[in-house]
Structure 1
Amino acid sequence: MTTKLESAPRPGRGRPRTFDPEAALAIGQRMFHESGYDAVGLSALTTELGITPPSFYAAFGSKAAFFQRVLERYAGTQLALAGILVAGRPPVEALADLLERAARTYARDPERTGCLVLEAARGNAESESAVLAREVAQRRREQVRAFVAKSHPRRADVVTDYVSTTLSGLSGSAREGMTEARLVKVAKAAEAGLSALLE
């Protein structure tokens, strides 16, 4: 079913319809998360958005540029780090919270399991979509590292590696069908590792 993004013109005005980029990004996020970047063709994308390819290119430039904006939107709304890695919060508490939230988020929607960013980053090393996803993932790792470095500068690298590896494992396991309950148990168990690394 096509999702219309254009609002009807005002009666008697004849003004051109307006396009809602944010709604388009939300739809694109759903499609890419469900099927992956390569499986979502431009035709399917523009049909779902209810616009023509020329309108799509005028609004976003390219499919890759659109995907980059989708990734940024996802990173800013799903597990937004600014609301978890709060200054002054104990690192073990904050990072354990991040892992548990990730476990729940990655498994909550059976049609969109795993992390959109991390799963896209697993793609072909040379593919544009994987490169874009890795850039977003790297920025998020740097946020974790900066947060840990404020209180444990010498442990920041290893803790960041630990958190990143755990998140990647949770995402991959969610994609493979592991239940939310099982993922949460793994996330909770990972807190012991955080405590050991941050002693």
Structure 2
Amino acid sequence: MTTTLIADTKPGRGRPRAFDPEAALDVGQRLFHAAGYDGVGLSALTVALGIKPPSFYMAFGSKAAFFERVLERYARTEIALADVLQAGRPPAEALADLLERAARTYARDPERPGCLVLEAARGNGESESAVMARRTAEGRRAQVRVFVAATHPEVADVVTDFISTVMSGMSASAREGMGESRLLGVSRVAAESVGILLR
């Protein structure tokens, strides 16, 4: 189904129309999450966006550059770390919140289960899309590490590795059909373990 991404900038006949990049990124995010980078061809992408390939290239440069912006948007809007890892918040509480949000987010939409970033990072070896996703994932891990290190530097690395491994496993499990209640159970057991490490 084609999504309208062009809107009149001003009322009145003959006025220029403006392309909405944020709406385009939202459509792209849903497509890539459902089918993966390689599963979304440029033709399908431009049809879904309601634009022609030349307009797509003018707006985004390439499919890979568009995907990179989609990853950035996903990381900014889905389980936004800035909302969770707030300075002064007890780390055990914040990380339990992070795990619970991940469980709920990964199971929220059965047509787009799991985490777009983590699933893309598992992709085809050194493909451009997988490398970009791994870079995004590592940036998020670094944020967790810095947050934990502020109060518990001696366990920051192991806690970060544990959190990222659990989240990756929950994402894969959601892709395999594990529902929210089971993922929440996993997140809560993991949170108890994190609490022990952060005592």
TM bucket (normalised to shorter chain) is over 0.9
Other-structure match for 1:26:
26
Counterpart of 1:129 in structure 2 is 129
Taking the aligned partners of 2:144 and 2:121, their CA distance within structure 1 comes to: 18
Other structure's SS at 1:188 match: helix
Aligned to 1:189: 189
Distance 2:74 2:159 in 1: 24
Report deviation, 1:197. 1.6
**Residues matched between the structures, number:** 198
Deviations 1:143-194 (A, max 9, x none): 0000000000111000000000000001000000001000000000111210
Matched, 1:142 2:153: no
1:133 Cα offset (Å)? 0.3
- Counterpart CA distance in 1 for 2:99 and 2:195 is 13
| Corresponding residue SS for 1:7 | strand
Cα distance in structure 2, aligned partners of 1:140 and 1:7? 34
Q: Deviations over 1:107-161 (max 9, x none)?
A: 0111110000000000012111000000000000000000000000111000000
In the alignment, residue 147 of structure 1 is paired with which amino acid? Answer: F
Partner of 1:72: 72
- For 1:185, the aligned partner's letter is G
Give a deviation string over 1:9-53, Cα, whole Å, max 9, x none: 7433x2332100000000000000011110000000000100010
Distance 1:102 1:111 in 2: 16
Q: Does 1:169 align with 2:134?
A: no
One-letter amino acid matched to 1:127: S
Structure 2 Cα separation of the partners of residues 89 and 17 of structure 1: 45
Q: CA RMSD in A?
A: 1.0
Structure 1 CA distance for aligned equivalents of residues 192 and 17 of structure 2? 55
Tell me the distance in 2 between the aligned counterparts of 1:174 and 1:90. Answer: 28
Aligned equivalent of 2:83: 83
Q: Answer yes or no: is 1:117 the counterpart of 2:117.
A: yes
Matched, 1:108 2:108: yes
Shift of 1:196: 2.0
Residue identity matched to 1:145: R
Structure 2: state its 5+ residue gaps. none
**Aligned-partner Cα distance in 1 for 2:3–2:89:** 42
Amino acid at match of 1:112: R
- Quote the Cα distance in structure 1 between the aligned partners of 2:145 and 2:12: 54
Q: Gapped runs of 5+ residues in structure 1?
A: none
Q: Tell me, what secondary structure is at the counterpart of 1:18?
A: strand
Q: Secondary structure at the match of 1:151?
A: coil
The alignment's TM-score, normalised by the length of structure 1, stands at 0.97
